[in-house]
Amino acid sequence: MKIVLPDWDTVSANDVGFSVFSKYGEVICCGPTLPEETAEKIGDAEVVLCNKTLITREVMEQCPNLRYIGLFATGYNNIDLKAASEHGIVVSNAGEYSTQAVVQHTFALMLSLAGNLTTYDNSVKNGCWERSETFSWFPHPVHELWGKTLAIIGFGSIGRGVAKVADALGMKVVVSTRTTPQNCPYPVVSKEDAFRMADVLTVHCPLNEQTAHLIRQETLDLMKPTAFLINTARGGIVREQDLADALNSGRLAGAGLDVLEKEPMDPHTPLKHAKNCLITPHIAWSPLETRERLIGIVADNLEGFLAGTPRNQVN
């Protein structure tokens, strides 16, 4: 059996290996794969294990031996699921591998905004504290999270993890989600009320037709001018020009983003130089321990498929 990894460099920085897959067949590991190269690289392989490689209907039609697509990801919007089902291809995702890491990064962004850490770090390194007449130099606002309202959009494993940490910090949690969760200890509110109530609004939902550009001028206008926005989900949930306008005009106090609509980042994105906009390069999922867990889940999924009992199948 031939197994192709068309974008292994998105999973490993030469710190984790793919030998775990070798017991299942011949492994062909590729560097970055352009859309026009995908079908050629997959070729006659039966299995593809990928992260963000776009696998369309056309690719499937050119790769008739393909029977299984295993994702190094929770999201699967890069796979044409309808076409996969029509071609008898099983698609499995990696489920909840990154929950702990994304929760951690969500609060890293939130705490950095609340403490104005980037501004203070830059100021200190530029000599401002050295020139201070007092022991404590605090011209830039710093805020407590205790007692603030955290509105969570999406209440899967990551949303629940975020709520648990927010509890520990003394925040008031409200939840907005497509399906009402059972035994939820927090108030469940509409999306509009979530935007209105939030001192911090954090997004933990998939990107789909219902959530594309969920964060846009109309919803941003509902928010308090003192509020922060956190997005560690998918960049397409935010209309970037609208968010930049809100930040630059002072209609929103700050944003912490780990994802953008185009990745790698478009150098012309209006968010690049927006006021109080903290951007990290899609790293919330990437701790070494997290990626090691991810590889284990993908291997287990493949083993289940080969045994005739697919795990985490999404189509």
Residues tagged active-site: 234, 263, 282
State the CB neighbour count (10 A cutoff) for residue 184. Answer: 14
Residue 180 DSSP symbol: P
Instruction: Please give the radius of gyration of the chain, using alpha carbons only, rounded to the nearest integer.
Output: 22
Omega before 264 cis (within 30°)?
Answer: yes
Going from the C-alpha of 307 to that of each of 4, 128, 302, the distances in angstroms are 19, 64, 9
In which order are the strands placed within the sheet that holds 277-279? 172-176, 149-153, 200-203, 228-231, 254-257, 277-279
Length of the chain: 315
- The CB-side HSE value for 32 (13 A sphere, CA atoms) comes to 2
| Burial (0-12, 13-18, 19+ Cβ within 10 Å), 106 | buried
